[in-house]
Amino acid sequence: MSCDCGQCRQHFRTLGIAYGVPSESEIQDAYNEAVKQWHPDLYENYASLRADAEERFKEIQVAYRELKEHNGGAVEAPAEESFVPSVSYAPSAQSAQPAQPAATPVLSFGGALGTQTGPHFTPDVEELIAAHLGRLGKALANVDLSGARQTGGYAQFLLLAELGMIARDQRKIVSLLWYKDLGEINLIDKQGKPGIWQSLAGVSGSQPKYALEIYRNNGVLFLTISAQADDSVKKIIYDFLLNRKSQI
């Protein structure tokens, strides 16, 4: 009988298994797919993303082992050294993610400063995409989060792609988030409360009044966008992420 404790439910989420009574083969297949996506060796040429991969890979190992134990078979996860990547981590590589929804929303920021949408990226953004995109599919948009909201530089940025997003924050730390691991997405006003603005089609005024908070599904904050972008840009990102989350 399948264990239904809170910890096992978290392990289901980690491996992408639906709640229920998974068979040993379902657990094994989910583990194999997770390893294909998150083994640290796939990120050896991308130091900025390797830390995320190593953390996620540890979670995958624990989830696999404990689900096996709690569901009737004490089987250890294969040793990390036994894994040989069959696909290199490169911009041209096909993602090992589950098939994405057929319709990917089209992003348009209406020409807002600091924003670009594909396929019409400038050469400097093309370089940024080549350096960071990896296995996230086609690049859809890039938002300059340096605060100047001007094209160029990109000391801080949010790169939105078909399967996930990559952000570089003010500490110059680059983080990756697959849409399937997306948690809460909140628009917060100056008093820290979700605003009715979240349900409106547009906004007015040029001074940013809202912060966009993006969380992982384990409750950890991935990124906050406040004064780095106009409210209209945050609203478009908010709607886009809600759409992606609903389709995963």
Tell me, yes or no, whether 99 lies in a domain. Answer: no
Which domain covers residue 180, as residue numbers?
Answer: 115-247
pLDDT given for residue 16 in this prediction: 75
Q: Does the pLDDT value for residue 74 go beyond 80?
A: no
Going across the sheet that includes 182-188, the strands are 182-188, 211-216, 221-225
> Minimal CA–CA distance to 222: which of 165, 141, 149?
165
Tell me what the pLDDT averaged over the chain comes to: 75
Look at residues 34, 66, 82 and tell me which one is the last residue of a structural domain: 82
Tell me, yes or no, whether 96 lies in a domain. Answer: no
CA distance 177 to 171: 17
Tell me, yes or no, whether 97 lies in a domain. Answer: no
The total number of structural domains that make up the chain: 2
Tell me, yes or no, whether 219 lies in a domain. Answer: yes
pLDDT given for residue 15 in this prediction: 79
Tell me, yes or no, whether 138 lies in a domain. Answer: yes
Q: Does the pLDDT value for residue 82 go beyond 50?
A: no
User: Which sign does the torsion angle of CA 70, 39, 242, 175 carry?
Assistant: positive
Q: What is the CATH number of the domain that holds 73?
A: 1.10.287
Q: Are strands 211-216 and 221-225 parallel, antiparallel or unpaired?
A: antiparallel
> Minimal CA–CA distance to 9: which of 71, 81, 95, 84?
71
Strands, E assignment, the chain: 115-117, 139-144, 157-161, 164-168, 174-178, 182-188, 211-216, 221-225
242 and 134 share one domain? yes
pLDDT tens digits, one per residue of 126-175? 988 888 777 788 899 999 998 654 445 678 899 999 889 998 887 777 78
147 and 43 share one domain? no
Q: What is the CATH number of the domain that holds 178?
A: 2.30.29.30
Check if the beta carbon of residue 232 is closer than 8 Å to that of residue 112: yes
Confidence (pTM)? 0.60
